[in-house]
Amino acid sequence: MTNKKLNSVLLIDDDEPTTFMYKLVLEESGCTKQIHVAQGGAEALNFLNLSDDHVNDKNYPDLIFLDINMPRMDGWEFLEQYKELNNGKKKPTIIIMLSTSLNPDDETRALNIAEVAAFKHKPLTAGTVREIVAKYFPE
């Protein structure tokens, strides 16, 4: 259990059982007031574009958990388009890439993208959430 409360966390993953489990993990950790789920990169970009004023929008996520392998728009493609959202309006958001991939090239590629704070292997656990919140959102 953590004392730090983020306004919003966005889960981007096409696998519904996975997002259901991750929502439970986030609720158990008590780290956020809101949990939003996008079933893929395009849906996530639509969600992020909903607000005209991202800096003051309470729905805009403080933290994004991003799956790499998704149909239609994968995590890499999402990141390319996410970079275009900036335009000075986007508030700082921590992006954690999640993957089942054991290919070290995926982790290297992810960590060479400025917008990606960390690369973690699935599954997401309460311990991992506490570690991320403590590291990137110190009180």
Question: pLDDT per residue over 36-62, tens digit each?
Answer: 999 999 999 988 887 655 556 777 899
- Evaluate whether residue 36 is within a structural domain: yes
Residue 1 domain-assigned? no
CATH code assigned at 13: 3.40.50.2300
Assigned domain for 130 exists: yes
Residue 77 domain flag: yes
Lowest-confidence segment of 41-50, 109-118, 120-129 by average pLDDT: 41-50
Residue 47 domain boundaries: 6-136
109-116's contacts with Cβ under 8 Å and 24+ in sequence apart are: 109/76, 110/68, 113/79, 115/79, 115/82, 115/83, 116/66, 116/79
CA distance 51 to 57: 7
Q: Is residue 120 one of the residues assigned to a domain? A: yes
Asked if residue 119 belongs to a domain, the reply is yes
- Interatomic CA distance for residues 70 and 11, integer angstroms: 13
**Phi, then psi, of 21 in degrees rounded to 5:** -65, -45
Tell me, yes or no, whether 84 lies in a domain. Answer: yes
CA angle in degrees (0–180, nearest 5) for 13-47-51: 155
Which two structure tokens, joined as six digits, stand for 3? 């004392």
Number of domains in the chain: 1
- Whether pTM exceeds 0.85: yes
Average the pLDDT over 118-134 and give the result.
94
Peptide bond into 138 cis (omega under 30): no
Task: For residue range 60-110, list pLDDT tens digits in order.
Answer: 899 999 999 999 899 999 999 998 876 555 678 999 999 998 889 999 999
